[in-house]
Amino acid sequence: MTVALHELRAAIDDELEGWLSETLRGAGPIADPIRYAVLAKGKRIRPLLFVGAWEAAGAAAGQGAGNGAGALHRVALGPELVHTYSLIHDDLPCMDDDDLRRGRPTVHVRYGERAAVMTGAALLPLAIRAVAEGAAGLKLPDPVAGRLIGVLTAAAGGDGMVGGQLLDLLAEKKHVGFETLERIHLGKTARLIAACCTMGGVAARASDETVGRLTRFGIAIGLAFQTVDDILDVTGSSTRMGKVGGRDEALGKATTPSVLGLEGARARAEEFGREALGEISPLPGADRLREIGRLVLDRDR
């Protein structure tokens, strides 16, 4: 029986905490800021999407289950660690200069800028290690494990998250059109979210057609996620969101409301949502992905 979303999130949190405790044993001073950043309570959208995509690809019926849920959840830690690395660096004074993240002082405020830079840098190799170990636990062949790592690192790099973050910084206080805005959002947010979905299909040994549907779902839901993020920066409560609101306008960021207006942004988010759900409509076992899709669109933090 499929577990509820909150139970799956709790299981992923348990795997994350247990794995970090084991992996960081003897790591020295870097262990504390890593644990501080990673174990802060987040939405865990990315690992949830990975598991949801694995289920939608048919793995819930028993394909490639290997040693069980623990190994699957360990693969799911990879995108979450990459995402946390991006948040740490995004909050730095040389970037968005934020003091609050997930309801707590940001890593550089708590531990200093040097430690924050090193913590972010440490999370990428940890992410690769988590995926490799999880793939081994699932008894996936080496080429499949290599593909999982390739998908994740490509989405995190110059053509994905890191490149998108730079485009975002370069666009500050400039007038940009919708095409440029979508290029920024695709890079800094949607490609990593899509990678989670692609990885779920790859880990389930799904067909190319199914993996393609999951990837397109991920791109659309990733663009919806960033659009909702832009909206919440205008309308959301800082207390509820766990970070300071109004930062996009203060920094002169290119956002969906700044380009399309608030109502246009809301309509665009719903359009992305419909596009995403349309991609997975033929897939059996996609209920989890549909639930996460609505969570992305309806969230208030």
**Domains within the chain, CATH numbers bracketed:** 5-298 (1.10.600.10)
pTM of the model: 0.93
CA distance 6 to 45: 11
Mean predicted confidence (pLDDT) in 58-75: 67
37 pLDDT more than 70? yes
- The pLDDT score that the predictor gives to residue 60 is 45
Cβ 103 vs Cβ 42: under 8 Å: no
State residue 106's pLDDT score. Answer: 97
CB 214 within 8 A of CB 57: yes
Q: Look at residue 64 in the predicted model and tell me its pLDDT.
A: 40
Instruction: Provide the mean pLDDT of the chain.
Output: 92
Q: Pick 67 or 247 by higher pLDDT.
A: 247
What does the alpha-carbon distance between residue 218 and residue 197 come to, in Å, rounded to a whole number? Answer: 6
Is the pLDDT reported for residue 1 higher than 50?
A: no
Specify the pLDDT at position 293: 93
**Distance from C-alpha of 60 to C-alpha of 54, rounded to nearest angstrom:** 7
Least Cα distance to 273 among 229, 225, 233, 234 occurs for 225
* Residue 294 falls in which region: left (phi positive, over 0), alpha (psi -120 to 50) or beta: alpha
Q: How far is CA 156 from CA 52, 162, 169, 225, in A?
A: 21, 6, 17, 17
Does position 59 have pLDDT exceeding 80, yes or no? no
Total count of residues recorded for the chain: 301
What phi, psi does 100 have (nearest 5°)?
Answer: -135, 135
- Is 80 exceeded by the pLDDT of residue 65? no
- What sign for the dihedral angle of Cα 206, 210, 216, 218? negative
| Cα 24 from Cα 126, distance rounded (Å) | 10
Q: How confident is the model at residue 68 (pLDDT cuts 50, 70, 90)?
A: low
Mean local confidence (pLDDT), 73-97 = 96
Average pLDDT over residues 52-81: 79
Measured CA to CA in angstroms, residue 176 lies from 149, 189, 226, 255 at distances of 34, 18, 16, 9
The residues facing 105 across adjacent strands are 100
Mean local confidence (pLDDT), 135-147: 96
Contacting residues for 4 by C-beta, under 8 A, at least 6 apart:
none
